[in-house]
């Protein structure tokens, strides 16, 4: 599960995602503290390209073009839609530190301090609670209410309507726009059972089909699984059955 933390630097909020598998920082938010600088100027330097190549070789031995041109990389990740603090360009910890030093020495020290804080104490100035947790609580309350009203047909019907409505909302909260849904979001929208083993199979199939159809793969945040992929409806309709 993703560990999302938000800090503030000179009035600008900057989001850190630290998990066992990946440590990334929202670079789009980082550069907002330096309005006279452009991220593109940093990314196009040969030194930056060489650094990304070295990181990619360390992570999964692939070429630099994956990070420069692809949204699903271990070094650079682009998130569109979903919660505002999760949107934008994300950089792996080491690249983000290099970016911070390019922006400002003082800012570089601040980022070092925040990373040290996360790794040693886990303290933050702002704790972000994923919105999807709300739906887990609502569903639990609805299940309890349904169990207590088995003999009241009217109440049961109203509860079922509420459950369907929560399913629709849950599907939207896990989506990047009206045409993109996560596997679990799509299943919630259509009332499809979505056990983990099936979700993994559907996810792999959706990733492959997205490439074949030249459909982008988005990113969203799920309270249970952390950062997850989202797929175009055209892909999901063919895969999830």
pLDDT in tens, 130-162: 445 555 556 666 666 666 655 555 556 666 665
Of 84, 99, 127, the domain-final residue? 127
- Average pLDDT of span 161-181: 57
Q: What share of the chain is helix, strand, coil (3-state, %, to 5)?
A: 55, 20, 30
| pTM (2 d.p.) | 0.48
Examine the pLDDT at 201 and tell me if it is beyond 80. Answer: yes
Question: Between the ranges 147-151, 209-213, 227-231, where is the mean pLDDT highest?
Answer: 209-213
Angle at 11 between CA 7 and CA 15, to 5 degrees: 30
Question: Do residues 97 and 142 both lie within one domain?
Answer: no
Examine the pLDDT at 205 and tell me if it is beyond 90. Answer: yes
Question: Do residues 18 and 65 both lie within one domain?
Answer: yes
Answer with the residue of higher pLDDT: 240 or 222: 240
In this prediction, residue 3 carries a pLDDT of: 73
In this prediction, residue 141 carries a pLDDT of: 62
Question: Do residues 55 and 83 both lie within one domain?
Answer: yes
Of 127, 154, 185, the domain-final residue? 127
Question: Do residues 184 and 222 both lie within one domain?
Answer: yes
Question: Do residues 138 and 233 both lie within one domain?
Answer: yes
What is the residue-averaged pLDDT of the chain? 76
Question: Do residues 178 and 201 both lie within one domain?
Answer: yes
Q: Could you report the per-residue pLDDT of 98-117, keeping only the tens digit for each? A: 999 999 999 999 999 998 88
Question: Do residues 97 and 178 both lie within one domain?
Answer: no
Question: Do residues 16 and 117 both lie within one domain?
Answer: yes
- State how many domains the chain has: 2
Of 77, 107, 127, the domain-final residue? 127
Question: Do residues 137 and 231 both lie within one domain?
Answer: yes
Q: Could you report the per-residue pLDDT of 9-39, keeping only the tens digit for each? A: 999 999 998 775 678 899 999 999 999 999 9
Q: Cα-flanking dihedrals φ and ψ of residue 30, to 5°?
A: -55, -45
Question: Do residues 48 and 160 both lie within one domain?
Answer: no
Domain containing 205 equals: 132-239
**CA gap 58, 18 in Å, rounded:** 18
Question: Do residues 107 and 154 both lie within one domain?
Answer: no
In this prediction, residue 57 carries a pLDDT of: 82
Which H or E element spans position 23?
strand 23-26
């Amino acid at each position: 599960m993703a560990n999302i933390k938000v800090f503030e630097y000179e009035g600008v909020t900057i989001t850190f995602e630290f998990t066992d598998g990946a440590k990334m920082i929202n670079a789009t938010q980082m550069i907002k503290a330096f309005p006279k600088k452009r991220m593109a100027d940093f990314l196009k330097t040969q030194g930056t390209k060489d650094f990304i190549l070295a990181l990619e070789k360390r992570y999964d031995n692939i070429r630099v073009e994956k990070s420069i041109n692809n949204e699903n990389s271990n070094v650079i990740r682009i998130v569109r839609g979903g919660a505002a603090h999760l949107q934008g360009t994300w950089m792996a910890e080491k690249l983000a530190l290099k970016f911070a030093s390019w922006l400002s020495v003082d800012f570089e020290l601040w980022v070092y301090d925040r990373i040290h804080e996360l790794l040693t104490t886990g303290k933050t100035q702002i704790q972000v609670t994923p919105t999807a947790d709300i739906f887990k609580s609502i569903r639990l309350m609805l299940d309890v209410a349904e169990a207590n009203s088995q003999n009241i047909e009217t109440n049961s019907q109203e509860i079922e309507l509420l459950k369907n409505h929560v399913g629709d909302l849950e599907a939207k909260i896990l989506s990047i726009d009206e045409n993109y849904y996560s596997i679990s979001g799509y299943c919630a929208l259509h009332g499809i059972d979505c056990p983990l083993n099936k979700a993994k199979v559907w996810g792999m199939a959706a990733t492959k089909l997205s490439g074949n159809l030249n459909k982008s793969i988005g990113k969203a945040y799920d309270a249970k699984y952390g950062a997850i992929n989202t797929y175009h409806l055209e892909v999901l309709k063919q895969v999830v059955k």
